[in-house]
Structure 1
Amino acid sequence: MTAEWAVAELQFACLGDRRRQKRLVRIVSDLASQPHATMPQASGDWAATQGAYDFWSSPRVSSDAIRQAHQRSTIERIKVHPMVLAIQDTTELNFTHHPSKKGMGHLDSATSRGLKVHSVFCSSANGVPLGVLHQQVWARDPATIGKKHSRNQTETKDKESQRWLTALDATQKVMPESITVLTVADREADIYDFLATERPENSQLLIRAYHNRQVKNSDGTKEVERLQGAIAKVPIAGQLDLELRANPQREARKATLNLQATTVEILPPQSHPHHQNLQPLTVQVILASENNPPTTEKPVSWLLLTTLPINGFSDLVQCLRWYSYRWLIERYHYVLKSGCGLEQLQLETAERIERAISTYTIVAWRLLWMIYESRHHPELGGDTILETHEWQALYCTIHGTPIPSESPPTLSNCIRWIAKLGGFLGRSCDGEPGVKTLWRGWQRLHDIAGTWKLVSTHSPPDVKPDFVKKDVSKA
């Protein structure tokens, strides 16, 4: 279904053998066509299935080489944007239910086994996914279970938290100098060494604060105050209305946020091993706190640290909007695990799983890109993502007619129709389709389009396939 796209996306792949590159293109194409399917289902036959497993099992295939191919294509997409967001986050793949797998480490629960994955997911300043810039996969040493270490006396480079600094360095190395990159991260990235990392002029930070750090007193005295106290003294700059989505912890509601911002100098933590040699860090602090929240709900409160200049209320709102795009990497992890079924893969070792992660990463990004691209550029033609027989089969199935339109439908319509095949109702109260209905619909479209192409090829020119009349009644 997506062979042409897969060829273009992987044009920079360097796997040491053209046959391996061809196999990678085939695997990505098959998985992108049916992201929710098992490997045998997506491959279509035993030969292709065995080829995929052999590819992931081969020591001649480097996970880094797969990632670098996608990274280079991502950088090409980045080049047309003056500013991009590099969103960092960590997830875990739980393989406790597969005890025979080799190379697994303990997860956040000592009784769980699996792998940790830290990624840099890149998007445009408008929130359109552009690709994965960096990814690190590792297994924790089982020998460390139950052992306590003094975190305050251990340098960051010797901690697992070094991953945030490593990813920042990797991002800055590949980012063109003419493009501003804003690294966005949650509270786990509130690390003094991360904030203090040397950055080029085109690299900025936007993270959610976790620690109530010591800051220089704003009145010029030598007395030290805390971050939360410093921002609480600042007058409210304005208010922002925010539509909160429903989640397991709350119902959907409209929240009014009070916005405050100031500049502070963060003092080096006294527990840092090199405390005496460190200097204060100048950052902007933003506090978005809910005004008059419902008594039964937990109030919204975001405390953000950024190196971006804030010269007015519009800058405040923009920073909040950019931080809200951190949700994209949560969606990316959701697609990897629930959509692509990474935790169900029947691969025996960590090395093989890592090669599969590198491959599925491309598939997960592509699925998210289609959704957000359709929202920001709905007028684009559906042939941006679909071949002719695919959009024709989609059109006829949805409209219950054997005669397709003369021109491709819009990208927005195609995405909504594919999601409809996956269970999206499309009512006025339903909003935009999500990834779950899209990957379900994509798999169903694969079957419908295959039948359409087969029947169209073997039908007289004036006869159109009419199987879609029966299919649409089930949609």
Structure 2
Amino acid sequence: MADSLRRIDSGEASDDYLRGGGTGAVWRPPPAKRGALLQEALVRRPGSCIRRLAQGDRARQMQFSRFLHNGAVTVTEMAETAAARTAVVVAGRDVLAIQDSSELVFGGKEARARGFGPIGRGGNLGGLLLHSVLAVDAVTGALFGLVDVKVHNRRGGKVAARRARSTADKESQRWLDGMFSASRVLHEAARITVVADRESDIYEEFARRPANVHLLTRIAQDRRIEAAVDGSTMLFAFSDRLPEQARFVVTIPAAPGRRERAAELALRYSTVAVRKPKNGAAPDLPNSIVLTLVDVTETSVPEQGEPIHWRLITTHTVDSPAKARMMLDFYRRRWIIEDYFRTLKTAGFDIEAAEIQDPDAMVRLVAAVAVTGVTVLQLVRARDGTTDQLLRDAFDPADQPLLETISATLEGKTQRQKNPHPKGTLAYAAWVIARLGAWDGYYGKPGPKVMRIGLQEFHSIKYGFQLGLRDV
């Protein structure tokens, strides 16, 4: 790894720079390295207030502030460190690289005056654009870690018309960059599928796809396709005419303003040759690309909201209802990244409440939180024991004896009050962390807030335990 990846503050090297990222995270940085100390503090006391992270220590608060204001520290460095750890655990696995963006709001006119770029409808708010790529097990839904993270502060000013600019000059380039990062970081995986929502429906992304990557995207644009009858037709009209090839029932999870429900879905699929857009496409792109269309329509009438109608496009070959259903299941894993963003915001670190005035310093804090937030979500994903992950995927293996000791003190006399998961698994740790976060073990399932609080309590216990050892 390049020396620049290990720069901290004055250029001093540190192999432990911002260690972690949710995959085998080891929170034992050298005490003099400010970046590592900040990462450790974010895990011990998740949040965005620098004073709170420093736990009242003025010197530590100044260390964190200097780190965040240090121009030598970059988001790229943090992303590469986290990605390197993710790359280790995906070898031989069927991996989904789920990518999406989220706007972070830091105020209105005052935030804009401080240098935060325009976000929100009309661009009247000031904030940052966060784009993340997560590695997820396609079979179990286990969260392996970060593949890439970018934090963008939009600059004001008039730009050329969209069609007059190349993709590289647009914000949409982030979707291609995420795809290329997945190809590079996850190259040891058995299979890579980049999953994204409608913003990623870009012809150039499919045209420039690396050979070791598949794409699965929800369609946003009604594109021209080649048809056997008249030579050309539109994708949506073609999709609507496809015969139904399967029907099944799935559970649609609850969301803000929507209750969980059972939905009956009709499935259609077909190979299509998507034609190159007439306007704005690079001249070197092929005139057409052969892809697979998967159409998913809800036949039941929901009590709330509109029925589901997803048109998905993929580079995977789909020649049976089972494979079409697999594409649907892959796409439904995309909800994991929505939970991730919620963990960084209202459910966990409350990053939008950070008290940092300088946009460049805020960019660095957002990147650090984006790396650390993976650990909380890993615990949420592992709570039921369905992800088959080991403790070392999110904790220092040396933490296992302490976790087992804490578990024994939290367990009750009845079977339901005991930790049901095998020792050494992430599910075992998730049960302990949830109980420390005030989950009673009976009702509901612990979410990001509970895990965040529990993780804070665990690191407080660990800190006290280590102090006790030094006093012996």
TM range (shorter): 0.7 to 0.9
Match of 1:412 among 427, 434, 439: 427
- Going from structure 1 to structure 2, the CA distance change for 1:295 and 1:132 (only over 3 Å counts) comes to closer
Determine if contact 1:183/1:203 at 8 Å carries over to the other structure.
yes
Q: Identify the residue that residue 302 of structure 1 maps to in structure 2.
A: 310
- Going from structure 1 to structure 2, the CA distance change for 1:251 and 1:224 (only over 3 Å counts) comes to same
Determine if contact 2:195/2:331 at 8 Å carries over to the other structure.
yes
Matched, 1:135 2:149: yes
Q: Distance in 1 between matches of 2:120 and 2:386?
A: 37
Q: Give the match's secondary structure for 1:95.
A: strand
Matched, 1:443 2:453: no
Shift of 1:105: 0.6
Shift of 1:258: 0.8
Determine if contact 1:35/1:443 at 8 Å carries over to the other structure.
yes
For 1:258, the aligned partner's letter is A
Equivalent pairs, count: 438
Q: Give the match's secondary structure for 1:142.
A: coil
Q: Distance in 1 between matches of 2:313 and 2:393?
A: 42
Q: Identify the residue that residue 208 of structure 1 maps to in structure 2.
A: 218
Q: Identify the residue that residue 437 of structure 2 maps to in structure 1.
A: 422
* Residue deviations 1:14-37 (CA, integer Å, cap 9, x gap): 224236833233222221122247
Shift of 1:395: 3.5
TM-score, L = length of structure 2: 0.82
For 1:17, the aligned partner's letter is E
For 2:145, the aligned partner's letter is G
Shift of 1:253: 1.0
Q: Distance in 1 between matches of 2:458 and 2:6?
A: 32
Q: Distance in 1 between matches of 2:175 and 2:241?
A: 31
Q: Distance in 2 between matches of 1:373 and 1:12?
A: 34
Determine if contact 1:86/1:122 at 8 Å carries over to the other structure.
yes
Matched, 1:84 2:99: no
Q: Identify the residue that residue 40 of structure 1 maps to in structure 2.
A: 51
- Going from structure 1 to structure 2, the CA distance change for 1:93 and 1:383 (only over 3 Å counts) comes to closer
Shift of 1:132: 1.8
Larger relative contact order, structure 1 or 2 (CA cutoff 8 Å, min sep 6): 2
Note the residue ranges of structure 1 that are not aligned, 5 or more in a row: 1-10, 460-475
Note the residue ranges of structure 2 that are not aligned, 5 or more in a row: 18-29
Q: Distance in 1 between matches of 2:191 and 2:393?
A: 32
- Going from structure 1 to structure 2, the CA distance change for 1:298 and 1:95 (only over 3 Å counts) comes to same
Match of 1:119 among 114, 132, 143: 132
Determine if contact 2:403/2:432 at 8 Å carries over to the other structure.
no
For 2:375, the aligned partner's letter is R
Matched, 1:67 2:79: yes
TM-score, L = length of structure 1: 0.81
Determine if contact 2:131/2:150 at 8 Å carries over to the other structure.
yes
- Going from structure 1 to structure 2, the CA distance change for 1:247 and 1:425 (only over 3 Å counts) comes to farther
* Residue deviations 1:158-195 (CA, integer Å, cap 9, x gap): 32212212222333234426643211110011122222
* Residue deviations 1:373-429 (CA, integer Å, cap 9, x gap): 4433569569974453354235414549xxx99x9586434423432443445446x
Shift of 1:296: 5.0
- Going from structure 1 to structure 2, the CA distance change for 1:344 and 1:164 (only over 3 Å counts) comes to same
For 1:213, the aligned partner's letter is R
| Structure 1, 266-275 or 383-392: larger mean CA deviation | 383-392
| Structure 1, 232-241 or 312-321: larger mean CA deviation | 232-241
Q: Distance in 2 between matches of 1:396 and 1:35?
A: 24
- Going from structure 1 to structure 2, the CA distance change for 1:347 and 1:388 (only over 3 Å counts) comes to same
Shift of 1:251: 1.7
Match of 1:159 among 157, 170, 182: 170
Determine if contact 2:112/2:126 at 8 Å carries over to the other structure.
no
Q: Distance in 1 between matches of 2:146 and 2:293?
A: 28
Q: Distance in 1 between matches of 2:188 and 2:461?
A: 46
- Going from structure 1 to structure 2, the CA distance change for 1:378 and 1:182 (only over 3 Å counts) comes to closer
Q: Distance in 2 between matches of 1:152 and 1:143?
A: 17
Q: Distance in 2 between matches of 1:398 and 1:13?
A: 43
Determine if contact 1:88/1:184 at 8 Å carries over to the other structure.
yes
For 1:291, the aligned partner's letter is T
Q: Identify the residue that residue 6 of structure 2 maps to in structure 1.
A: 14
Match of 2:369 among 349, 356, 360: 360
* Residue deviations 1:423-446 (CA, integer Å, cap 9, x gap): 445446x2x422122112222344
Correspondences of 1:21-420 after superposition (within 5 Å):
21=17, 22=30, 23=33, 24-36=35-47, 38-44=49-55, 45-81=57-93, 83-96=94-107, 99=111, 102-109=114-121, 110-126=123-139, 127-144=141-158, 150-176=161-187, 179-197=190-208, 199-217=209-227, 220-272=228-280, 278-294=286-302, 296-338=304-346, 339-374=348-383, 375-377=385-387, 385=395, 386-397=399-410, 399=412, 411-420=426-435
Q: Distance in 1 between matches of 2:97 and 2:459?
A: 32
| Structure 1, 267-276 or 302-311: larger mean CA deviation | 267-276
Q: Distance in 2 between matches of 1:399 and 1:13?
A: 47
What percentage of aligned pairs have identical amino acids? 24
- Going from structure 1 to structure 2, the CA distance change for 1:387 and 1:153 (only over 3 Å counts) comes to same
Q: Distance in 2 between matches of 1:301 and 1:318?
A: 17
- Going from structure 1 to structure 2, the CA distance change for 1:312 and 1:408 (only over 3 Å counts) comes to closer
RMSD over aligned Cα atoms: 3.4
Q: Distance in 2 between matches of 1:34 and 1:312?
A: 49
Determine if contact 1:101/1:347 at 8 Å carries over to the other structure.
no
For 2:246, the aligned partner's letter is G
